[in-house]
Amino acid sequence: MTQNGRKLFVVIGMGNFGSSIAKTMANAGGDVIAIDRNMLLIQELAETVPNAICLDSRDIEMLRKAGVQDADTVIVAMGSHLEDAVETILNLQELDIKNIICKANSTRYGYVMERIGATQVIEPENEMGQRVAISLMNPKIQDIYQMNDDFAVMEIKAPELWINRKMSELNLRELYGVNVIGIRTVGAKRVDINVTPDTMIKDDDVLVIAADANRIAALNLD
């Protein structure tokens, strides 16, 4: 954590995945340190991420000098370089980092990372494949965030059979395993989370739901 009490994030590995995370955090005003041993990648980030440092994360003393031990969360985005990622994770454990999120390019890599101390493993290509498959199977699904293999939060256009009916009439949780956690109007950004049994679903509603991803993909939402 930084001296001003804000959370400090460290991203190690400035490939497409890592640099995207670091830039997004920096643009949002977050405290983030971007690390890579390739100086060219660090130079490309310099304008967007002020605290971009060229160092080898396999060297624990270099990590310590960069202040990584103060981080609340470290993202290890070296998914295709397992040996480097393993050495880095072990160093982070030595620095007593409690939350280590790792990118893995395969389930096998992810298994190894979890075994040596990764708090969370992300497989971007696998998760994107799941999202595309679910969206293709059910076009009414407008956006989806996969929480794990079975559970997802997604946005769906109100199905015709649900329109002009109250939540209490639909009994969605019992019948489909669907929990409606918010509703917004098509084109609007604001989500109304005050969903009650008396809430009426309208034609231009987009529903934010939490559900079993496989079950909702197979559900008839026409």
Whether the per-residue pLDDT at 118 is higher than 70: the answer is yes
- Mean pLDDT for all residues in the chain: 85
Q: What tens digit of pLDDT does each residue of 178-190 get?
A: 889 899 887 777 8
Predicted pLDDT of residue 33: 96
Scanning the structure block, which residue is given the tokens 């969206």?
A: 135
Q: What tens digit of pLDDT does each residue of 131-165 get?
A: 665 565 556 666 666 555 567 788 888 888 899 99
As a whole-number percent, the residues of the chain with pLDDT over 90 amount to: 47
Predicted pLDDT of residue 41: 95
The answer to whether the pTM exceeds 0.75 is: no
Backbone torsions φ then ψ of 20, nearest 5 degrees: -65, -45
Q: What tens digit of pLDDT does each residue of 29-60 get?
A: 889 999 999 999 999 998 999 999 999 999 99
> What are the structural domains of the chain?
8-122 (3.40.50.720), 127-217 (3.30.70.1450)
CA 171, CA 152: separation in Å to the nearest integer?
19
Mean pLDDT along residues 202-214: 83
C-alpha torsion angle, residues 217, 171, 209, 177 (rounded to 10): -50
Inter-residue contact 99 to 119 (CB < 8 Å): yes
